[in-house]
Amino acid sequence: MFKPHPLRSMRNIPSHSRILLAAIILLCLVQTAAAYHTNRYFQNNPNPLPRPVRWGPPMKRDSVPLVISNNCGETIWPGIGTQAGTGAGTGGFELASGDSKSLTVSADWQGRVWGRTNCSFNAAGTGASNLNGNDGSGAACDSGDCGGVMSCVLTGATPVTLAEFDLAGGVGGTQVFYDISLVDGYNIPLQIIYIPGDNPKLQDIPPNLTNCACIATAGLLADPADSGTSGNATTPDKPLPYEPKQDSKSVADWCPWDLQVKQPTKPGDGVYPYPDDNIQRPIFDPCLSACAKSNSPQDCCTGSFNDPHVCQPNLYSKSAKAVCPDAYSFAFDDQTSTFIIPSGGGWEVKFCPPGRSTNILATFKQQLQDLSSAGKVTKQIQEDCMNITIIDESAKKAGAERVRGEPSGMGSRSLGALVVVVAWAVLW
Ligand SMILES: *[C@@H]1O[C@H](CO)[C@@H](O)[C@H](O)[C@H]1NC(C)=O
Ligand SMILES: *[C@@H]1O[C@H](CO)[C@@H](O)[C@H](O)[C@H]1NC(C)=O
Ligand SMILES: *[C@@H]1O[C@H](CO)[C@@H](O)[C@H](O)[C@H]1NC(C)=O
Ligand SMILES: *[C@@H]1O[C@H](CO)[C@@H](O)[C@H](O)[C@H]1NC(C)=O
């Protein structure tokens, strides 16, 4: 196998190539940096315990399952980034359609999982293959790429749908904070699934309270079920509250025209198509967030906009929130996007899950808050989660709000308040 000595091989490269190489490395770094916009919780992590980053995998007694599965029709290349604690011992791998991979991370892991699409690596996984004349340099994947290498470190190039976890969040690190983030854009659908662990207080946690999904790709969206439940991902005894309005047509068009990574050209005349044109978009249509595209303080809630009262959701955020009500759409919508549950279970990230986007946070806001403060699943929480009336009423409300042009649940601030309270408790 080709294993260059890093220094010697640099010296052998002619100087113009060296400049090119430096430029490419710089570009990769810039790409990684640009992909690092995040929500407020992950900016101001309230857990003050020092958690050194280790590659992993963790020792057995310290480990939590992290399962990654691919329900997509084609192979994907999941990427894993570790921000704190011990990682899975891999930063990414190839995962064929229908396969799943069981990994472990430490109980205090903080990190993210995303999907990379249409990758083509060299045999060592150290760069792009030469299939398209890339010759080891540049991006190896169509979306989610991390500097062209198989095993990622922190994050992927925008746009990516992220599953974000802090397994030891909150004061004392006794809670799990997790979310689906579209802050960096969207590439493929994903679902986060709770795996019951050995915490006896969480044995009966209703899966419909924890298992959020974001499905914003045409062709992968199930039709709504009869009641307010989530299409194919639902069984009569385990209904998930779902996003009620999208159909396969609307979900194909949600990305603001200029934020599409590959804007389709009008067939025939080659003229830049008017955004409102009724044009067939590609099924796989990665969408940059406004922040990832413009990098402006206004879109990214940085600088003088780093204030929840000042930074407002832009068109992208509103569109993203409408297709994926449970996902983060910009830095400050944590009130409708952060799941907080007591620690003690494991996690699965499933790409291209069946069903529809969920609407759990707006439906079971109160129940999640109760779970968080009680630290266990109460009888009332169980009952509420089985109550179809609650799910249906919330679905109707979400529909009504969207007709008024407001993303669902934007008015509910309680989870955000909880995050703020936690942050305050740490600061004071
Ligand atoms: C991957 O590439 C193939 C061939 O160009 C294309 O048909 C397919 O849609 C691509 N898939 C994704 C997820 O980009
Ligand atoms: C939902 O189920 C139906 C019937 O089994 C199937 O035809 C359809 O492809 C499924 N949709 C999704 C998105 O899984
Ligand atoms: C939610 O999941 C629990 C546990 O599986 C189940 O008992 C309950 O019926 C589900 N919720 C609804 C609304 O059915
Ligand atoms: C379900 O919820 C509705 C609305 O909150 C309530 O009126 C009803 O009593 C609940 N049903 C059950 C069986 O708990």
Would you list the domain boundaries of the chain?
Answer: 16-254+318-404
**Does the Cβ of 237 fall within 6 Å of ligand 3?**
yes
Q: Is the pLDDT of residue 210 over 80?
A: yes
Q: Is the pLDDT of residue 164 over 90?
A: yes
pLDDT of residue 335: 74
Local structure of residue 263 (DSSP, 8 states): P
- Integer angstrom CA distances of residue 246 from 55, 93, 356: 40, 33, 9
Instruction: Name the amino acid, one letter, at 115.
Output: G
**In the predicted model, what is the mean pLDDT of residues 321-346?**
91
d(CA 374, CA 378): 8
- Which range has the top average pLDDT, 29-33, 233-237, 399-403? 233-237
d(CA 306, CA 297): 8
**Does the Cβ of 206 fall within 6 Å of ligand 3?**
yes
Which of 114, 118, 187, 260 has most ligand 1 atoms within 8 Å of CB, for mutation? Answer: 118
Estimate the crossing angle of helix 365-374 against helix 414-427, to 10 degrees.
Answer: 30
- Residue 2 or residue 384, greater confidence: 384
The alpha carbons of the chain give a radius of gyration, in whole angstroms, of: 21
- Residue of minimum CA distance from atom 4 in ligand 3: 206
Q: Where is 77: in which H helix or E strand?
A: strand 76-84
pLDDT tens for each residue of 8-17: 333 343 444 4
- Residue 33 or residue 234, greater confidence: 234
Pocket of ligand 2 (CB under 6 A): 220, 222, 232, 354
- Nearest ligand by distance to the CA of 234: 3
Q: Where is 207: in which H helix or E strand?
A: helix 207-210
Q: Is the pLDDT of residue 277 over 80?
A: no
User: Residues near 229 by Cβ (< 8 Å), separated by ≥ 6?
Assistant: 239, 240, 241, 242, 388, 391
**Does the Cβ of 386 fall within 6 Å of ligand 3?**
yes
Q: Is the pLDDT of residue 319 over 70?
A: yes
What is the position in ligand 4's atom list of the atom closest to the CA of 383?
14
Which of 384, 388, 390 has most ligand 4 atoms within 8 Å of CB, for mutation? Answer: 390
pLDDT of residue 419: 32
| pTM, entire model | 0.82
User: Residues near 233 by Cβ (< 8 Å), separated by ≥ 6?
Assistant: 191, 211, 213, 222, 240, 353, 354, 355, 356
pLDDT over 90, % of the chain: 50
pLDDT tens for each residue of 42-80: 666 656 667 899 999 998 888 999 999 999 999 999 999
**In the predicted model, what is the mean pLDDT of residues 171-195?**
94
pLDDT of residue 110: 95
- Nearest ligand by distance to the CA of 386: 3
d(CA 354, CA 56): 31
- Nearest ligand by distance to the CA of 389: 4
Burial 186-215 (b: 16+ CB within 10 A, else e): bbbbbbbbbeebeeeebeebbebbbbbbbb
pLDDT over 70, % of the chain: 75
Q: Where is 389: in which H helix or E strand?
A: helix 388-403
pLDDT of residue 266: 58
Six-digit token string for 341: 């549950």
As to burial, measured by CB atoms within 10 angstroms (0-12 exposed, 13-18 middle, 19+ buried), residue 302 is middle
**Fold assignment, 16-254+318-404:** Thaumatin (2.60.110)
Ranges 13-17, 92-96, 152-156, 340-344: which has the least confidence:
13-17
- Residue 122 or residue 411, greater confidence: 122
What is the position in ligand 4's atom list of the atom closest to the CA of 388?
1
Ranges 65-69, 74-78, 347-351, 407-411: which has the least confidence:
407-411
Closest to 242 measured CA to CA, from 217, 208, 218, 219? 208
Q: Are 319 and 37 in contact (CB under 8 A)?
A: no
Pairing relation of β-strands 63-70 and 346-351? parallel
- Which range has the top average pLDDT, 122-126, 182-186, 397-401? 182-186
- Residue of minimum CA distance from atom 3 in ligand 1: 118
Alpha carbon 141 to its chain centroid, in Å, reads 18
- Which range has the top average pLDDT, 48-52, 158-162, 399-403? 158-162
Cα(386) to centroid of ligand 4, in Å? 10
Is the bond preceding 159 in cis, omega lying within 30 degrees of 0?
yes
**In the predicted model, what is the mean pLDDT of residues 26-53?**
57
pLDDT tens for each residue of 90-136: 999 999 999 999 999 999 999 999 999 999 999 889 999 877 777 77
- How is 280-337 classified by DSSP, letter by letter? PPPSS--B--HHHHH--HHHHT-GGG-STTT----HHHHHHHHH-TTEE-STT-GGGT
Cα(223) to centroid of ligand 2, in Å? 8
Q: Is the pLDDT of residue 31 over 90?
A: no
What is the position in ligand 1's atom list of the atom closest to the CA of 188?
13
Cα(299) to centroid of ligand 1, in Å? 30
Q: Are 202 and 344 in contact (CB under 8 A)?
A: yes
pLDDT of residue 237: 66
pLDDT of residue 130: 79
Mean pLDDT, rounded, of the chain = 80
pLDDT of residue 204: 84
Residue given tokens 């703020």 in the structure block: 420
Instruction: Name the amino acid, one letter, at 102.
Output: S
150 pLDDT band (50/70/90 cuts)?
Answer: very high
Which of 204, 242, 385 has most ligand 3 atoms within 8 Å of CB, for mutation? Answer: 385
Pocket of ligand 4 (CB under 6 A): 383, 387, 389-390
Residue 129 in 3-state DSSP?
A: coil
